[in-house]
Amino acid sequence: MNLKKIISECLLITFSVLLAFWLNSWNETRQEKNAAKRHLEGIYEEIDANITELEVILPYHLNLLQSLREKPLETNVVLRPPAIMKEAWKLAEGDVFKKHIEAKLYKRLSYVYAVHDYLNDQGKSAGLQMDHLNIFAPYYMLNGANTEPSEEDRLKFRRKTKQSWIPIFEDWTATEEEYLKVLKEIRDQRK
């Protein structure tokens, strides 16, 4: 009789321990799914904010590009890189998030944020390239002459410098357009 009691208590203890492990695992998975869902909502909010920002900045850059093409000397160039965010992606990026969302969506979000990084790098690069053109172009144009440049040479320099900004803005606006397109695709797929 004692043997039956001992075996039944062992089975009861084993079952209780296994049930506790299963409940703990279920609870952890549930918490991870909830965290992934919150991260995804944060990413969607960030995407909406980035769309809004690009819808304001992109027309400015396109108008600036058009103005540089049509009347470079009259165009006042002011760089306005978009204030796009990436914090929600940084918080979400990881194995737990990746594990609990669709692989196709994760791949698409990874692409979006790769374009995001490229756009940010382009903005920094555009500023550096334009600074380089503004600072060093006169020396190249004047061939290091020690004389004061004529007004005609100054106008040529200004025209050439501003015209050389066109490829910079073409690349930049093309990337902004691509980024806006993929952001809108993700937003529209969500609905």
Handedness of CA 160, 165, 171, 177 (dihedral sign): negative
Closest CA to 115 of 34, 46, 161, 174: 174
pLDDT at residue 154, rounded to an integer? 65
CB 170 within 8 A of CB 66: no
- Among 35-39, 100-104, 165-169, 176-180, which range has the highest average pLDDT? 176-180
DSSP conformation class of 146: S
pLDDT at 141 over 80: no
Residue 170 has pLDDT above 50, yes or no: yes
pLDDT (tens digit per residue) in 71-99: 877 777 777 888 899 999 888 877 788 88
**Is the torsion defined by CA of 101, 102, 106, 108 positive or negative?**
negative
* Mean pLDDT over each residue of the chain, to the nearest integer: 84
- Summarised one tens digit per residue, pLDDT across range 121-140 is 888 887 777 776 665 555 44
Residue 147: pLDDT band with limits 50, 70, 90: low
**33, 32, 50, 34: which is closest to 89 by C-alpha?**
50
* DSSP states of 16-64: HHHHHHHHHHHHHHHHHHHHHHHHHHHHHHHHHHHHHHHHHHHHHHHHH
Find the mean pLDDT for residues 161-176. 83
Helices 2-70 & 103-142, crossing angle to 10 degrees? 30
Residue 39 has pLDDT above 70, yes or no: yes
Domain locations in the chain as residue ranges: 33-190
